[in-house]
A and B are shown apart, each in its own frame.
Chain A
Amino acid sequence: MPLSVPAHRIAAGVTYTGLTVPHLRTGLLRLHFYCPHSDRTAGLHELLTELIPQTSAAYPTVRDMTRRLTSLYDTAFYADIEHFGDWDDLCFTLSWLDDRFTGGESAAAQALDILRGCILHPLLENGAFPSDLFEIARENLLGDIDCEADDRRGYARTQADAMSYAGQPAAIPPLGTRDAAAQADSAAAYAAWQNLLQNAPAAVICVQPAENPLPEETVTAVFAEIARTEPAAFTVISPADPKQHPCMAEENVCAAQTRLVMNLRDTGSDSDAAMLLNELLGAMPDSLLLRNVRERYGQCYYCETGYSRCKQMLTIETATADAQLAQTRAAILHELDVLRSGDVSQRALQAAKLHFAFEAAQCADSPEGLAEWLSDRALFHDERTPQQLCADMEQVTAERIAQSARALVFDAQFTLHGIGEEAET
């Protein structure tokens, strides 16, 4: 996989990484702006994900913009926010059909022109976003905040994180608070946009099927029109603060099932072993939790783990009948104890390494996978290629897994008790 391509600087605090992969059928350009997560800006940035790609001075209604993109072989242009610990990554994605399928028409050139217009010339009214567009976007955001608890699993995770990261930006809900969103106004949203353009560290990733200088030329020209300041170096790695005692909380909800989220803080320094432990314990189809808690004891349907490199936190999630909760929790913790004791079979360890290698290989089969690999590499300052990373994983031993398991400290637990569902009327 040709993933050792270096990033280079195209403006103050802006890097560009380009990759050509001939078998792809679409081109993809991602423009990442990194900014600290805060209650004041979380909602404003969410609003920007709707306001910036939906219109521009050249395409002043949502319908105009959508129609133009549709006619360009469904060129996709959208924004979203991913959270990396205490940092937000506000990412604009542009994806176009390669010229070899468009009968000579360059969708890329026209798509890049639209991107340029949205970034530099958004639709404005008296120096702010038009009030009607802004109000619709804010109503949507308030609705999304009101609906956060609809996703029981996500809600339980957010509540556990709020305890684990208390006092840190990551404790603030992903969309910010309702109060902050309600107070947001159009001028503040535009100021937040200008602040991102001028001051936020940024990275551009472009993956396309054929050599084409246009994407780099376009984004370089965009940033040349912005008075950029040189941002300070930043890191997304900011572990949770240690606690004297684990935090525990629970709530009741009208639901058929109870959700349990446990956060375990990684106090070790072996991140490769921690990532492999995550695979082994609960992130692969034949994980210990699935094999034992689900298959052997029949306690639940899903039981899985995730590892945050930013916060160095292992999260375990499951859902079960409320009456079975204590048993399920005990069965999960037993699997951790087994790992701590060093009882890791070579077969299971090898399966975890192979699963890790599969995921690394799979990223090279899609433009999105490649772009994600390249942006994560830059964000975590981890210059290893997938092959190098897999080779390093091969060196992880059962003893390193055991040490990594012993370095996990119980940090927080949130339980969302299901107390029965609603009836149909």
Chain B
Amino acid sequence: MNTERQIFRETDPLTGDTCVRILHESGLEIRVLEQPAMHTAAAEFAVRYGSVHTAFIQEGKRIQTPAGVAHYLEHKLFENEDNGVSARFAAIGASDNAYTGFDRTVCHFRTHRAFPEALAVLLEFVQHPQITQGGVEHERGIITQEIVEYYDDADDRMFFQVLEALYHACPIRTDVAGTPESIAQITAEMLLQCHSAFYNLHNMVLSCAGNVTAAEVLETADRLLIPAPPFTVQPALPPEPETVFAPYRERTMAVGRTQFSLGFKSAPASGMTQMREKLICELAADLLTGACSPFYEQMRQSGLLPHPLSAEVLCGSEWFAVIFDGESDEPQTVADALCKECASALQNGIDPALLQDLKRAYYRDEITAMQSPEDAAAALTENWLAGCTSPFARTALLAQITPEEICDVLARRFRQDRAALSVILPDDDTDTNDEK
């Protein structure tokens, strides 16, 4: 069911940025950040369909697909009858690319000229897949090489190893691109079925930023968007217990230094709650282990951590985890110290002055998040995926966060009994480096 067009304008009082948000009659939400001083513009056409959506209910029927379908589909969208989609972008001076995440697929371009023409290419190829079985067979070798490339990447192995340890069944424990075995089962028919199910304009967003106007975007959108039927597909993710699957996992690789990830699993959240809890977790992680923390100073002085831990908050409809990455010869000692630091913060409270300084640092991030067209388009998409109507909401949320809320989140989302440690150990014996 398609409604009448609605247009909302919102100006960020801090930066003067104005975002035009259009609920288009085709079902698509369009977000445009007009930046006339820029020399380039960027656009993202994103769908709420990613690697976790391997099972779904459509018209009452449960459909199960192999791991890696969303990513495979992203690749095959770029196939067309003549020279390929990239050639069409290149011919008008635009640079295209795409990526697939756990909960999204994003096709995008950047350009310094001919924005409407490039936007037309984007809207056309994403809405009109030209997928053949021959093309699918051909792509298998390329995607297999892409999957295999990540097998040699210690950071990537460590990341998925910690997710495998944290989660029992949630599909985020599987590589976004799947495995050579899972993608061997993928067919053209399967890709088209998934495209038809998920690439529904009600389930998508178009984010544009840079030296482009909402009027220009609408002119192309009005011409090319095909009104979509109501989106009725229900993702069917498997039930996930609250506990971790395994508290510890390790593997050896030909790496120079021991690397580790420490993950804390907690209950998923949605919408503005998710955005708020994510922001609080980021602040909490910085307070606990960031470069300004007593913890890092102590770890550095004792030679346990050469660099501050990096922290990431990974969240989606069915998962929420805080993951710390670092390098140390004694990962278990660092992990134990971090849990102890967390307990100490809960008992003694957090340093309000440090929180205030970190809020100023995060404020800068918000101000500069939309400084370039590419970053701005990505931020608009991220915001839509979080279910937030205002693209400037995080700045207001940041100002409201209190030390008490930080402690509340520490208690709920940094629990030692919900933690898992993933370690990559160097194995000198296996790094043959034989010169022939």
Tell me the bound Cα distance from A210 to B40 in angstroms. 22
Is B95 in contact with A253, judged by CB distance below 8 angstroms?
Answer: no
B256 with A286: CB separation less than 8 A: no
* Contact (Cβ within 8 A) B367 A253: no
Within the complex, which residue of B91, B139, B362, B372 is in contact with A347, where a contact is CB–CB below 8 Å?
Answer: B91
A341 within 8 Å of B (CB atoms): no
Contact B148 A256 (CB under 8 A): yes
Query: How far apart are the CA atoms of A74 and B290 in the complex, in Å?
Result: 13
Q: Which residues of A contact B300 (CB under 8 A)?
A: 62, 136
- Judging by beta carbons under 8 Å apart, are B306 and A252 in contact? no
Kindly state the separation between the CA atoms of A351 and B252 in the bound complex, as whole angstroms. 45
A286-B87, A300-B142 known; A140+B307 contact, CB < 8 A: yes
Known contacts A321-B145, A362-B40, A365-B373, A101 near B251 by CB under 8 Å: no
Shortest distance between the CB of B109 and any CB in chain A (Å): 9
By a CB distance below 8 angstroms, the chain B residues around A357 are 93, 112-113
Let me know if B396 is at the binding interface, CB within 8 A: no
Shortest C-beta distance, A105 to chain B (Å), equals: 10
B256–A143 touching, CB < 8 Å: yes
Q: Is the CB of A298 within 8 A of B138?
A: yes
List the A side residues contacting B161 at CB < 8 Å. 424
B13 to chain A, nearest CB (A): 11
> Is residue A241 contacting chain B, with contact meaning CB distance below 8 A?
no
B307: chain A residues at CB < 8 Å are 140
Which one, A5-13, A18-26, A30-38, A330-338, is touching chain B? A18-26
What is the CB-to-nearest-CB distance from A419 to chain B, in angstroms, rounded to a whole number? 7
Evaluate whether A300 and B145 lie within 8 angstroms (CB atoms) in the complex, with A25-B368, A62-B297 already known: yes
Contact A73 B433 (CB under 8 A): no
CB of A218 within 8 A of chain B? no
Distance A221 CA – B164 CA, assembled complex (angstroms): 56
Instruction: Determine whether the beta carbon of A251 is less than 8 Å from that of B435.
Output: yes
Please, how many residues of chain A have a CB less than 8 angstroms from a CB on the other chain? 72
Q: Chain A interface: which of B61-69, B191-199, B378-386, B424-432?
A: B424-432
Which residues from chain A contact B173 at a C-beta distance below 8 Å?
Answer: none
Given contacts A24-B371, A422-B427, contact A253 B256 (CB under 8 A): no
Contact across chains for A355 and B95 when beta carbons are under 8 A apart? yes
For B430, the closest partner residue in chain A by CB is A254
Given A252-B432, A422-B430, A424-B249: A73 in contact with B138 (beta carbons within 8 A): no
- Distance of A321 Cα from B144 Cα, bound (Å): 9
- Of the listed stretches A117-125, A144-152, A260-268, A309-317, name the one at the interface; the rest are far from the partner chain: A144-152
Q: What residues of A have a CB within 8 angstroms of the CB of B146 in the complex?
A: 301
Contact partner of A419 (CB less than 8 A), chosen from B84, B151, B154, B432, is B432
Q: Are A23 and B37 in contact (CB under 8 A)?
A: yes
Q: Which of B221-229, B261-269, B318-326, B353-361 contacts A (4 or more CB under 8 A)?
A: B353-361
Q: B93, B138, B360: which contacts A71 (Cβ < 8 A)? A: B360
Instruction: Decide if B371 touches A254 in the complex (CB within 8 Å).
Output: no
A290 to B86, CA, bound (A): 10
Q: Which of A23, A66, A320 has the most CB of B within 10 A?
A: A66
Interface of A is mostly: mixed
Q: Is A154 an interface residue (CB 8 A)?
A: no
| B245 cross-chain contacts in A, Cβ below 8 A | none
Q: Give complex CA distance A364, B39 in Å.
A: 7
Q: Mark B367-408, 1 if CB is under 8 A from A, else 0.
A: 110011100000000000000000000000000000000000
User: Which of A72, A294, A302, A424 gathers most chain B CB within 10 Å?
Assistant: A424
A358 and B87 contact, Cβ closer than 8 Å, known pairs A26-B368, A365-B40, A418-B152: no
The CA of A152 and the CA of B253, in the complex, are separated in Å by: 12
**How far, in angstroms, from A64 to B371 measured CA to CA in the complex?**
29
List of A residues within 8 angstroms of B139 by Cβ: 298
Ordered by A's residue number, 25 sampled pairs between the chains whose C-beta atoms are within 8 Å are A63-B296, A74-B360, A74-B362, A74-B364, A74-B365, A97-B364, A136-B301, A147-B257, A148-B256, A150-B257, A249-B435, A251-B433, A253-B254, A256-B151, A285-B89, A290-B86, A291-B83, A298-B140, A301-B149, A321-B148, A351-B91, A358-B94, A361-B40, A362-B40, A425-B250
B residues whose Cβ falls under 8 Å from a Cβ of A: 14-15, 35, 37-40, 83-84, 86-87, 89-97, 110-113, 138-143, 145-146, 148-149, 151-152, 154, 161, 210, 249-257, 290-294, 296-297, 300-301, 303, 306-307, 327, 354, 357-358, 360-365, 367-368, 371-373, 427, 430-436
Interface residues in chain A, defined as those with a beta carbon under 8 Å from any beta carbon in chain B: 1, 22-26, 61-63, 66-67, 70-74, 97, 101, 132, 136, 139-140, 143, 146-150, 152, 249-257, 284-286, 290-291, 294-295, 298-302, 319-321, 347, 350-351, 354-355, 357-358, 361-362, 364-366, 418-419, 421-425
The 5 closest A-B pairs by CB, nearest first: A147-B256, A354-B93, A74-B361, A23-B37, A361-B112
